[in-house]
Amino acid sequence: MSHFVPYYLSLRLKMLYRLFRQIGILRSCILMGIAYVVLYFLYKIDNQYVVVGVFSALALSVNQCRRDRQFLQLLISRPSLLLMIEYLLLSVPFVVVSSLKGEWVQVGVMLLVVVLVPFFKKIQTEHHFTVPLPFMYRGGIDMLYSMRLVGWILPILIAGGVMGCCYDNVKIVRVCTALYMIILSISMCNPQPLVRHFSSFRQFLVMNFKMVGYNLPLLVLPMVVLLVYSENAVSMPLCLLLGGFLFALATLFVRYVISNSLFMFIHIALFVALYVTTVMSVWGGILFAIVIAIYLFGIKIKYNYIWKY
């Protein structure tokens, strides 16, 4: 088995690299930022067993979703040892957090989880269901597809906002709300309808403004409620909602102008900076609106040959 471990781990690294290439640079950076925020939050929290609980839930979910057990049983006689090594590598960030806090008992508990989880059998579910989204403005199928890509991140951010409210940490709630807005806005704009589906530039504007203006407030409502509860005011939630609305429009319109992934990443990074500026100042929102107007002017010129007939 010892000679098989390096090959298996290199295969896992290649799969992770392929996943990052598939989701793109922007989503990869967002995921790493979320991971950093979660680890920082776990380091700052006072409850000693939250880190153990988060790692246990993560290890159990990974073990439940595994589909390579039969494949590993064909290659080696004791695949549980290989799974222990994989879960041990997965536990390194959580062990480091608990070690920095001096919680050695929790480190031992996590190592015990690493040993026991590979022996848990997968829970078989007979019924599979999809969550309908009848309240969505645009169709529902396209939006459901795009939401599935990031649907597992949004509950984590909501849970982070809830824990921030429980511990009276407004900064964590603000960061979770901003990340929730950014990820949700990017997912709402992918996939996007083709330009030829709109009969005119006016219909293009009306449909996209309705899609963003109706869907975004509905989906971001849980985070807005948490932010209002923690802030005891509505000014900051309104600024975040306005910035998220402008960010979603800019992310939607830039896809019709730019197709290169590198330039797309640069523009979205600029939109994130404008989003933060909008939350901090009114002039940031005005500048953001001017940038969106420039993109709309470029779309009208680029696709005028389709809409003029």
What's the pLDDT tens digit per position in 56-100?
888 888 887 777 777 777 777 777 888 888 888 888 888 888 888
Using pLDDT thresholds of 50, 70 and 90, give the confidence band for residue 134: low
Tell me: do 96 and 161 sit in the same domain: no
Tell me: do 149 and 286 sit in the same domain: yes
Among 119, 152, 175, the domain-final residue is 119
Q: d(Cα 107, Cα 95) in Å, to the nearest integer?
A: 6
Q: d(Cα 217, Cα 227) in Å, to the nearest integer?
A: 14
**H/E stretch holding 249:** helix 235-254
- Three-state SS sequence of 139-181: CCHHHHHHHHHHCCHHHHHHHHHHHHHHCCCHHHHHHHHHHHH
Residue 268 lies in a domain: yes
Among 84, 119, 154, the domain-final residue is 119
pLDDT at 279: 82
Residue 102 lies in a domain: yes
Residue 59 lies in a domain: yes
pTM here is 0.59
Considering only CA atoms, give the Rg of the chain: 23
Low-confidence winner among 14-18, 43-47, 127-131 (lowest mean pLDDT): 127-131
Q: Measure the N-to-C terminal CA separation of the chain; round to a whole number of Å.
A: 68
Low-confidence winner among 45-59, 138-152, 199-213 (lowest mean pLDDT): 138-152
* Maximum mean pLDDT: which of 115-119, 218-222, 290-294: 290-294
Query: What mean pLDDT do residues 18-40 have?
Result: 78
In the chain, the percentage of residues whose pLDDT exceeds 90 is 0
In this structure, is the dihedral angle defined by the CA atoms of residues 17, 22, 27 and 29, taken in order, positive or negative?
positive
> What are the structure tokens assigned to 195, written together?
């330009």
Using pLDDT thresholds of 50, 70 and 90, give the confidence band for residue 106: confident
Q: d(Cα 15, Cα 23) in Å, to the nearest integer?
A: 12
Tell me: do 181 and 291 sit in the same domain: yes
Residue 33 lies in a domain: no
pLDDT at 139: 46
Tell me: do 158 and 257 sit in the same domain: yes
Residue 191 amino acid letter? P
Tell me: do 212 and 269 sit in the same domain: yes
Q: d(Cα 91, Cα 14) in Å, to the nearest integer?
A: 20
User: Of 224, 194, 220, which is closest to residue 207 (Cα–Cα)?
Assistant: 194
pLDDT at 146: 61
pLDDT at 241: 82
Residue with the larger pLDDT of the pair 80 and 125: 80
Residue 179 lies in a domain: yes
Other Cβ atoms within 10 Å of 271 Cβ, number: 25
Asked if residue 109 has pLDDT above 70, the reply is yes
Q: d(Cα 142, Cα 281) in Å, to the nearest integer?
A: 34
Tell me: do 163 and 272 sit in the same domain: yes
Residue 31 lies in a domain: no
Asked if residue 44 has pLDDT above 60, the reply is yes
CB 87 within 8 A of CB 114: yes
In the chain, the percentage of residues whose pLDDT exceeds 70 is 85
Structural domain harbouring 281: 141-307
Tell me: do 188 and 301 sit in the same domain: yes
Tell me: do 161 and 109 sit in the same domain: no
Among 66, 89, 119, the domain-final residue is 119
Q: d(Cα 287, Cα 284) in Å, to the nearest integer?
A: 5
Mean pLDDT (the chain) is 78
Asked if residue 138 has pLDDT above 70, the reply is no
What's the pLDDT tens digit per position in 155-189?
778 888 887 777 777 888 888 888 888 887 777 76
Tell me: do 50 and 167 sit in the same domain: no
CA 142 to chain centre: 18
Tell me: do 159 and 287 sit in the same domain: yes
Residue 32 lies in a domain: no
The total of structural domains in the chain comes to 2
Residue 64 amino acid letter? Q
Q: What does the chain come to in residues?
A: 309
Tell me: do 293 and 153 sit in the same domain: yes
Using pLDDT thresholds of 50, 70 and 90, give the confidence band for residue 131: low
Using pLDDT thresholds of 50, 70 and 90, give the confidence band for residue 126: low
Residue 40 lies in a domain: no
Tell me: do 178 and 86 sit in the same domain: no
pLDDT at 145: 60
> What are the structure tokens assigned to 91, written together?
């536990």
